[in-house]
Structure 1
Amino acid sequence: MDVVTRKKQSVVKTGIAGLDEILRGGLPSSNFYILQGAPGSGKTTAALQFLLAGVDAGERCLYVSLSQTAAELESIAISHGWSLKGIRVEELSASDAVNGASDQTIFQTTELRLDETRKAVEQAVEDHKPHRLVYDSLLEIRLITGDSPRFRRELLGFKSFLAQRQVVALLLDTQTNGSIERSGEEVEGIAHGVIRFDKSLEEYGGVRRRVEVSKMRGVPVADGYHDMAIREGEGVIIYPRIIPGAASETVKPQLIKSGVTALDEMFGGGQESGTTTLVIGQSGTGKSTMSSLYATAALKRGESVALFLFEERLETFFRRSEGLGMDLRQFHKDGQLIIRDFNPNEISPGEFGKIAQEVVTREKSRVVVIDSFTGYLNSLPHREKAVRDIQSLLKYLARSGVLTMLIVAQHGLLGQNVGIDVDVSFLGDTVLLLRISEHEGKLRRSITVVKKRHGPHDLDVRELLIESSGVTVVAYNPLPEA
């Protein structure tokens, strides 16, 4: 069997990398697990991944289905490019199981249906002697038994039967509106572990999916909800919440320069690695230009840079940068500049955090730009949770020695209001405020370092000049009165 040692306890991989990470390696072997979720939440897909992982490990795998046909399972597998070769599918029916005894009575009694269904399932296990078993689903057994005590006795008996044969069993439990509350009480004390898939449809955007390991005996799981998705060709993908302490080690701080001497002087010589800078300003003040400036300087130093776009199109980014004398296309082609262009409505906070974490870990990026954080948050239904998730990501990046620049938009003529209704100011170690003002028909940009947690910084308001020749920062001299 595909076994990983966890101290004295062995585990089996689930076939879902993110879930194995949450479980600290996998499911404890030779035990009985419940996978709960509403219809369409991804239970069957995850169950097939569990069995396919067993096939890859050379194990015998059995799928006992009371609710789906073999053809339906084959269709799900084909949609992801999988083959069910190596998985034995036993297609049963709680009503058909008693056909041989139907002449005893006109109506099939509950006890008869339950007994014959149990015998059919146990016979399938005896015949195929699987290492891994998927039982789909408990809803049919719950409907047959009709009451909780009888359902519990049935589960306890089946658990004992499987334990004697050292089978790792995953039992699917389809939750309907009426069964959600009571099903938890029925199985929590019986199963070794309970995994719940959650699916919700918000007012705007796609379906939001989450997973929770509500119980797992003897395993210090990463509790709480974790974002998940179902991707064609990949199946169920789970994105564990980021743990800041998982970063390799805290990197010694270094000064990161912009390439504009006057700007670096405002920060006391430069910005520090392992910090987060909020670049705040209304439209047209030069927020994205600031991030491009630091990205260009890092790239010219030979460092890797990651840029995550949530509003601006990739071609627009390149053209804007080229208009200021910053040609970044070749860096992108060479792989030194990693750019991900997201549709905010199609990505969850957990998925974004995982992507950012993997890019920084793999490419050793020294500068990360999120443009814009405002657009990202405005696309999410639960912004407070998204802010907490991004805080964990920022702490992870800080421990990795990354300078992260968050672009935050303001609205209004003078930009008094941040364009999101949650406070994000605490996220920044440094706050760079960009403003625009009008005097006698002329617009002027100003730049100020409002906050810098580490070391001295310049509190003066300076003028920011963005021209085709590049970016410069000069002393801000008010225009004379007419």
Structure 2
Amino acid sequence: MTMQGDRAELRRLSSGSAPLDAILGGGLPERSLSVVAGAPGVGKTVFALQLLFHLARQNKRAVYFTTLSEPSLKLIRYMQQFAFFDAGLLDERVTFVDLGSALLDEGPQRALEVMRQHVEQQECDFVVVDSFKAVHDLLETNRPLSRRLVYELAVWLAAWGATTVLVGEYDRDDMARLPEFAIADGIIRLASERHELTSFRQIEILKMRGADYVTGLHFFEMGRDGLSFFPRVRAPDYRGNGEIMVASERVTTGLAELDAMFGGGPLRSSSTLVEGGTGTGKTLLGLRFLLAGIERGEPGVHLGLEETPDQLRGLGATLGWDLARAEASGRLRLSYTSPVELSTDRYLDQARQQIADLGARRVVLDGLSSLALSVPSERRFKELVYASTKHFRDSGATVYMTLELEEALGSGHLTGRAISSLADNVILLRHLEVRDRLERAVLVLKARGTAHDSGVRHFSIDASGPHVGGSFADVRSALRGGSPPG
């Protein structure tokens, strides 16, 4: 602990993962006792060992006590598949100690004595006990003794100065009644949540004494490198940053007539939602917006969830748009992610990184409807859209998003999902039946902070791309999808 003015400042141990440190509020408090709880198979052991090996690489002495019936060698053999495992640290900085026989043959008190002796002899800085719940399972009929042993363990570990993690297959009822949760400085819950046919791993910090941790559910994945963490996408915190600057500069959409409908084009750093049915031209409008920026020296990113980069290049080629050349110049990035089994928070975190890497001034998020399929609730979908657009805009980008509507001729519905309020601008593309033929129409439903043309105009696509034409003769009939009077 250090002093910051008149205030004590807790030292923190980095987990080795910047996203996890952010979730924890800066890392694990030094000399703290934390419990990692969760069902079998969620990644508790990998979590603890990944943290242990990272700290060992920082010259910390670490010990891993296992209460499992199988020997430590079996655990080591399985853990060697992960990149964080470093056999060179074994015995020098990392020690595995099997407490299984001591627990079964001599009881929990003897097991705790073995732990005490080893920590003191090896001068350990970091201690893991996996599974500590096994101690309770052996003392189920003697709860007073169980409680006393837990308190003794906590007291001498704190006195020694070791940072400790207790791992166990605890459920919610265990958290309410077992003593380790009462004395713990931190409680970390790992879980696996099923969404239709897909399961997502989650992490939640239920308690972290002295830390400004991020509440709620966050996400992680397991791979060869171990666990990768993705903090829940949240809107930027503008508190204390003074007045938020509002841009007055306008940007071109790439179509002069559409710019005119906005009174000169959308405002820079604004967000525009393009809604329409299948085949109305949403993707083309987004590509034209990106190319208009590239022509003016503004790099752009297309974040696609439906068309692949090859499909987009092929589409552009039919219109005389050389997307490959723009990519080769480093001014355009076409990114595609399959919406099947999509982890939305990971996807949007990676999208922010791509935007930052390119220094993008224009961003098209093409396929909000596909994104919605991977989100468990309508509320969370709105949160993701809102937070993402704020982050994209804070990076200096002007944002286009596309959303597919379930379009039916004669339908009076103007918008689909209730997210139009989250965007600064809303463009509606529609198919209309006019004198027994289908025509396209475009309407600027909303342009925040600027006067705009509210008329319904013809919208067409030819060999050179999309075009905005004149007004429909009968606005009300056009919006209904009916034929104007002849």
Q: TM-score with structure 1 length normalisation?
A: 0.88
Indicate whether 1:448 and 2:454 are aligned.
Answer: no
Match of 1:71 in 2: 74
Match of 2:120 in 1: 126
Match of 2:479 in 1: none
**Equivalent residue in structure 2 for 1:295, among 285, 290, 296:** 290
Match of 2:405 in 1: 410
Query: How far has the Cα of 1:196 moved from its partner?
Result: 0.9
Match of 1:368 in 2: 363
Q: For 2:197 and 2:277, how far apart are their aligned partners in 1?
A: 26
User: Given the superposition, is the C-alpha separation of residues 131 and 385 from structure 1 closer, same or farther in structure 2, using an over 3 Å criterion?
Assistant: same
Q: Is the 8 Å Cα contact of residues 276 and 407 (structure 2) preserved in structure 1?
A: no
1:286-365 matches, within 5 Å, as: 286-365=281-360
Indicate whether 1:283 and 2:278 are aligned.
Answer: yes
Query: How far has the Cα of 1:243 moved from its partner?
Result: 4.1
One-letter amino acid matched to 2:453? D
Indicate whether 1:40 and 2:41 are aligned.
Answer: yes
Q: How many residues are aligned here?
A: 464
Indicate whether 1:259 and 2:261 are aligned.
Answer: no
Q: For 2:74 and 2:395, how far apart are their aligned partners in 1?
A: 49
Query: How far has the Cα of 1:4 moved from its partner?
Result: 13
Q: For 2:358 and 2:301, how far apart are their aligned partners in 1?
A: 9
SS at match of 2:357: helix
What's the CA shift string for 1:20-48, capped at 9, x where partnerless? 01223211111111111111111111112
SS at match of 2:452: coil
Query: How far has the Cα of 1:362 moved from its partner?
Result: 3.3
User: Given the superposition, is the C-alpha separation of residues 7 and 307 from structure 1 closer, same or farther in structure 2, using an over 3 Å criterion?
Assistant: farther
After TM superposition, the structure 1 stretch with the greater mean CA deviation from structure 2, 323-332 or 239-248, is 239-248
Indicate whether 1:200 and 2:193 are aligned.
Answer: yes
Kindly report structure 1 stretches of 4+ aligned residues shifted beyond 4 Å. 3-7, 246-252, 415-420, 477-482
One-letter amino acid matched to 1:46? F
Query: How far has the Cα of 1:361 moved from its partner?
Result: 3.1
After TM superposition, the structure 1 stretch with the greater mean CA deviation from structure 2, 273-282 or 316-325, is 316-325
SS at match of 2:15: coil
After TM superposition, the structure 1 stretch with the greater mean CA deviation from structure 2, 343-352 or 138-147, is 343-352
Match of 2:205 in 1: 213
After TM superposition, the structure 1 stretch with the greater mean CA deviation from structure 2, 248-257 or 352-361, is 248-257
What's the CA shift string for 1:222-272, capped at 9, x where partnerless? 111112222332423232433413799956523110222111101110111
**Equivalent residue in structure 1 for 2:216, among 199, 207, 224:** 224
Query: How far has the Cα of 1:191 moved from its partner?
Result: 0.7
User: Given the superposition, is the C-alpha separation of residues 168 and 327 from structure 1 closer, same or farther in structure 2, using an over 3 Å criterion?
Assistant: same
SS at match of 2:289: helix
Q: For 2:378 and 2:396, how far apart are their aligned partners in 1?
A: 27
One-letter amino acid matched to 2:463? S
Q: For 1:91 and 1:418, how far apart are their aligned partners in 2?
A: 66
After TM superposition, the structure 1 stretch with the greater mean CA deviation from structure 2, 245-254 or 119-128, is 245-254
What's the CA shift string for 1:85-141, capped at 9, x where partnerless? 3243424243x1168xx6xxxxxxxxx411222122222223322211211111211
User: Given the superposition, is the C-alpha separation of residues 454 and 328 from structure 1 closer, same or farther in structure 2, using an over 3 Å criterion?
Assistant: same
Q: For 1:45 and 1:276, how far apart are their aligned partners in 2?
A: 41
Q: Is the 8 Å Cα contact of residues 344 and 371 (structure 2) preserved in structure 1?
A: no
One-letter amino acid matched to 1:302? G
Give the share of equivalent positions with the same residue, in percent: 25
Indicate whether 1:28 and 2:29 are aligned.
Answer: yes
One-letter amino acid matched to 2:448? R
SS at match of 1:188: helix
Q: Is the 8 Å Cα contact of residues 394 and 404 (structure 1) preserved in structure 2?
A: yes
Q: Is the 8 Å Cα contact of residues 193 and 215 (structure 1) preserved in structure 2?
A: yes
Q: Is the 8 Å Cα contact of residues 367 and 402 (structure 2) preserved in structure 1?
A: yes
Q: For 1:431 and 1:169, how far apart are their aligned partners in 2?
A: 53
Q: Is the 8 Å Cα contact of residues 251 and 274 (structure 1) preserved in structure 2?
A: no
One-letter amino acid matched to 1:431? V
Indicate whether 1:90 and 2:96 are aligned.
Answer: yes
SS at match of 2:292: helix
Query: How far has the Cα of 1:169 moved from its partner?
Result: 1.0
CA RMSD of aligned residues (A): 2.8
**Equivalent residue in structure 1 for 2:465, among 460, 470, 475:** 470
Match of 2:379 in 1: 384
Query: How far has the Cα of 1:278 moved from its partner?
Result: 1.1
Match of 1:105 in 2: none
Query: How far has the Cα of 1:375 moved from its partner?
Result: 0.9
Gaps of 5+ in 1: 103-111
Q: For 2:342 and 2:73, how far apart are their aligned partners in 1?
A: 33
Match of 2:138 in 1: 144
Query: How far has the Cα of 1:408 moved from its partner?
Result: 0.7
Q: Is the 8 Å Cα contact of residues 82 and 226 (structure 2) preserved in structure 1?
A: no
Query: How far has the Cα of 1:314 moved from its partner?
Result: 2.0
One-letter amino acid matched to 1:14? S
Q: Is the 8 Å Cα contact of residues 284 and 465 (structure 2) preserved in structure 1?
A: no
User: Given the superposition, is the C-alpha separation of residues 316 and 416 from structure 1 closer, same or farther in structure 2, using an over 3 Å criterion?
Assistant: farther
Q: Is the 8 Å Cα contact of residues 36 and 173 (structure 1) preserved in structure 2?
A: yes
Q: Is the 8 Å Cα contact of residues 39 and 174 (structure 1) preserved in structure 2?
A: yes
SS at match of 1:387: helix
